[in-house]
Structure 1
Amino acid sequence: MKNLFSFLTGYMKVCIQGGQTERFLNLCIARGIALWSLMGDPKKELVFFISVRHFFLLGPIRRKTGVKIHILEKHGLPFFFAYSRKRKAFFLGFLVFGILLFFLSGRIWNIHIEGNITNSTPEILEFLEEEGVLHGISKSSVNCSSVAAKIREKYPKTAWVAAKIQGTRLIITIKEGVFSDTDKTLDREPCNLVASEDGIIVDMVTRAGTPQTEPGKKCKKGQLLVMGRLDLHNDSQEIYQYKYVHADADIYIRRQIPYYAELSMKYEKAIPIEKEKRRFYIKAGSLYMEWGRPPKKNNDCIVEDFPLRITENFFLPVSFGKITDRKYKNQRFLRTEQEAKAAAFHILQQYEKKLMEKGVQIFSNNVKIEVDHLTCISRGTLEIIEKTGREVPIEKQEQPDLQLERTTENG
């Protein structure tokens, strides 16, 4: 803090010679004049630093002690401005910089979107641009409540949207709604749920309808699992009304699916036959400049483009990149037994991964890999757990007539 104050008010490096040096220091201390970084000199000189304000108080002390004072260096803001009085361009640039800083700080330079999964960030940014909310817009022109309302209107599946301005950033937080299947099926047509495949039921959670089976039992394709009819009973446990609903349930079955895959022992691989060569380019709008050796025919080119951007989503129309030229030759190879089994196992893993991406669980793997001199064959079965339940129309029956039944019984 002291160094900052000294820089703002100015300070000097001073040398005193001759006279009564010790008395000079004593008088400075007595009058509260601050000296620092004192250094003695073999020539009987004393060098120290002193502030500009205290330097002008040394006159009476110098006359009493007979010392000579020499200014060696000047430091601080006052001297900087004094040296720069003739440099008008510098002060003009400093003023222009301040004006630009004030102008640019009043605009939005980064639109940050978070929480979105279903709708991509570029898609939302494009929509905001159509609505007039884009990079460089004045902060006073942005109505955060209006921006949030427009996003909710455009994307109905969003449960909650918040927009706020922090500095030169517009931060939009999106929370996408999780809508239950029950809410979606309230106004839909009544139906039953039947099994889409043969299997064993491992789990069953019914939300609407009457279950017709239970976990642990086998089911056949087309078998009724959940009936979309509710039987309403009175106090006498008599059915007095049928209520039809859209059957809704999470039903999981365990079943086996066959797996078969062939892999040739022979394969081709691209081998580079020449050293790779690099070219570089700069692109600004429609202008394009490239340097490096031109590519040869039948070469593979890999282009890496790096667009310039000021903020997270504010890209400039300028980019630079690298082009790598490589020449390959296809060469045939023969897999070893170990390599073939590893490749076949990798293919099986990719197949299982695709199943799991669809929500299928792998319960057990009964696939065997066999190798002969021409082919690697993977065959067997996978035991999986998957969701089942296919909607089918329900046949409505006439409502029960308890009054008619009782009259018939009494007669």
Structure 2
Amino acid sequence: MLLGLINYVRGWVRVEIRGAAIERFLNLCAQNDIAFWDVRRLAPDVVQATVRIQGFRQLRHFTRRMMCSVHIVKKRGVPFHTHRLLPRVALWGGALVCAGALLAATRFLWVVDVTGCDHTLQAEALRLAEEAGLRPGVGKNKVDSEEVRSYVMTHSDNFSFVAVNINGSQAQILAYGRKETPEMVPVDEPCDVVADKDGIIESIRIKAGLGMKKAGDTVVQGDILVTGTMVSALDEVRQVHAMADVTLRTWHTLEQVMPTKVQTKVPTGREKVRRFLVIGSRRIQLSFVEKEPFPCYDILMEEKQLKLTENTPLPVKLVTERYVEYTPKDYVVTQETAEKVMEQRLEELLELTLPEAQVESRQFQCQYEVPFARSALQVECREQAGVLQEVSGISRKTTEEGND
């Protein structure tokens, strides 16, 4: 295969040799380094063979000596195609213009991608990068990766890490969002431990401060569990940084509503396709589809970025819109399916809203009707409770009640 490719690049000629001394003619050519291949005898005095262009030009010196004639059957290779296209000035000029345009396109950035964060932060990173000068269509020599990174970091507090990498005609922004950290109270600052949820105290272990509640007490959000203000028997007030481990028994109810009469889409198998090129903000239609091809249809869109190389995308996208026809059909969800789907959704909602809670028991209820079904998930949990809050003063009487 490799030898065939080399011969095609050099060019070869398929010839027909006629004469009474064909064997002597071939031997003479071999002595003069003229190589033949794919030699086939068609008749006692007729042979077909393949020879390179350089060897073919030397054959006329030996045909006269051996009283043989050589005729061209076919010729293939790059030199013949080049010779045929050489007079076409417009073609070569267009090729040079295209090559120059592609070369010029590699000096610009055509794609800017953001990875490592959610869609909201991606949009913010793209906006800040554009303000810093990084946008599709800008010259690569006008973009300083370090300046763009510094601009994004200094103009937003939502990023913990930003890196800008330029590879070919593509700019890749790697951005990580900053995680929210709870506001910490310095250990030398007096504070109280306050309930941040409703429930019944299952256990309370005081590390510093004075307990205002005990195990078995019912608390609501905002109640002081442990105070940092301590009053001695001599009415001496001392304020400390209260600390405690508090576990509450809590109850939560999650609700879900689901339609039981829905409309499904049944594909008919018919579809139409529209294709167009997007160059910058301009769209060039490659195929046409009427405005409303079907009474009911879905549009499936696919975009393909054209690339010169893997790291050199072109400012051209091939967009394919596929119009798929469907027939609407009413469908009633069964009670078993509705209960299964809603219970699964409520479990996912429970994991999302109470990720750190330890669920002790749960009870699922469903009221099935048409066109809607309602469900509720009641859970009993064990949760860590208590947040730090600015210390509040207490009297001697309150202290005595807390100690009791």
Fold similarity call, TM over 0.5: yes
Alignment of 1:11-30 (within 5 A): 11-30=12-31
- The 8 Å contact of residues 16 and 67 in structure 1, kept in 2 or not, is answered as yes
Partner of 1:346: 341
Deviation at 1:94? 1.1
1:166 matched to 2:167? The reply is yes
Partner of 1:407: none
CA pair 172-53 structure 1, distance change in 2 beyond 3 A? same
1:358 matched to 2:359? The reply is no
Q: SS in structure 2 opposite 1:127?
A: helix
Partner of 2:34: 33
Partner of 1:92: 93
CA pair 389-319 structure 1, distance change in 2 beyond 3 A? farther
Partner of 1:389: 386
Deviation at 1:340? 3.3
- The 8 Å contact of residues 276 and 327 in structure 1, kept in 2 or not, is answered as no
CA distance in 2, matches of 1:168, 1:306: 25
Alignment of 1:288-303 (within 5 A): 291=290
CA distance in 1, matches of 2:258, 2:113: 48
Unaligned stretches of 5+ residues in structure 2: 231-236, 307-312, 395-404
- Between 1:133-142 and 1:317-326, the stretch displaced more is 317-326
CA distance in 2, matches of 1:56, 1:285: 54
CA pair 258-6 structure 1, distance change in 2 beyond 3 A? closer
Partner of 1:221: 219
CA distance in 1, matches of 2:327, 2:188: 60
Partner of 1:72: 73
Partner of 1:5: 6
Alignment of 1:38-117 (within 5 A): 38-42=39-43, 44-117=45-118
CA distance in 2, matches of 1:174, 1:340: 46
CA pair 43-326 structure 1, distance change in 2 beyond 3 A? same
The alignment of Structure 1 onto Structure 2 pairs a total of residues equal to 365
CA distance in 1, matches of 2:49, 2:216: 99
Deviation at 1:175? 2.8
Q: SS in structure 2 opposite 1:134?
A: coil
- The 8 Å contact of residues 212 and 224 in structure 1, kept in 2 or not, is answered as no
CA distance in 2, matches of 1:319, 1:8: 37
Q: SS in structure 1 opposite 2:43?
A: coil
1:304 matched to 2:299? The reply is yes
Deviation at 1:127? 3.0
CA distance in 2, matches of 1:47, 1:218: 107
CA pair 244-26 structure 1, distance change in 2 beyond 3 A? farther
Deviation at 1:174? 1.6
Partner of 2:192: 192
CA distance in 2, matches of 1:287, 1:13: 46
Partner of 2:126: 125
CA distance in 1, matches of 2:239, 2:366: 54
- The 8 Å contact of residues 278 and 292 in structure 1, kept in 2 or not, is answered as no
Deviation at 1:91? 0.8
- The 8 Å contact of residues 164 and 171 in structure 1, kept in 2 or not, is answered as yes
Q: SS in structure 2 opposite 1:56?
A: helix
CA pair 356-23 structure 1, distance change in 2 beyond 3 A? same
CA distance in 1, matches of 2:117, 2:71: 70
What is the TM-score with the length of structure 2 in the denominator?
A: 0.69
Partner of 1:409: none
Deviation at 1:17? 1.3
- The 8 Å contact of residues 307 and 316 in structure 1, kept in 2 or not, is answered as no
CA distance in 1, matches of 2:373, 2:68: 102
- The 8 Å contact of residues 211 and 226 in structure 1, kept in 2 or not, is answered as yes
Letter in 1 for 2:193: L
Tell me the C-alpha RMSD between the 2 structures: 5.0
Partner of 1:137: 138
Letter in 1 for 2:349: K
Percent identity of paired positions between Structure 1 and Structure 2: 20
- The 8 Å contact of residues 201 and 219 in structure 2, kept in 1 or not, is answered as no
CA distance in 2, matches of 1:354, 1:140: 50
Q: For each residue in 1:6-43, what CA deviation from the matched residue of structure 2 results, as whole angstroms up to 9, or x when unmatched? A: 23332211221113222223233333322222222135
Q: SS in structure 2 opposite 1:106?
A: coil
CA distance in 1, matches of 2:314, 2:200: 50
CA distance in 2, matches of 1:15, 1:112: 61
Deviation at 1:345? 5.0
CA pair 282-56 structure 1, distance change in 2 beyond 3 A? closer
- The 8 Å contact of residues 23 and 65 in structure 1, kept in 2 or not, is answered as yes
- The 8 Å contact of residues 133 and 148 in structure 2, kept in 1 or not, is answered as no
CA distance in 1, matches of 2:66, 2:258: 104
Q: For each residue in 1:325-376, what CA deviation from the matched residue of structure 2 results, as whole angstroms up to 9, or x when unmatched? A: 9778x89x8x8xxx4355345334433322321234444223456889xx98
CA pair 50-181 structure 1, distance change in 2 beyond 3 A? same
Unaligned stretches of 5+ residues in structure 1: 231-240, 398-411
CA pair 169-57 structure 1, distance change in 2 beyond 3 A? same
- The 8 Å contact of residues 341 and 376 in structure 1, kept in 2 or not, is answered as no
CA pair 29-219 structure 1, distance change in 2 beyond 3 A? farther
- The 8 Å contact of residues 285 and 318 in structure 1, kept in 2 or not, is answered as no
CA distance in 2, matches of 1:116, 1:320: 29
- The 8 Å contact of residues 202 and 254 in structure 1, kept in 2 or not, is answered as no
- Between 1:308-317 and 1:354-363, the stretch displaced more is 308-317
CA distance in 1, matches of 2:173, 2:17: 66
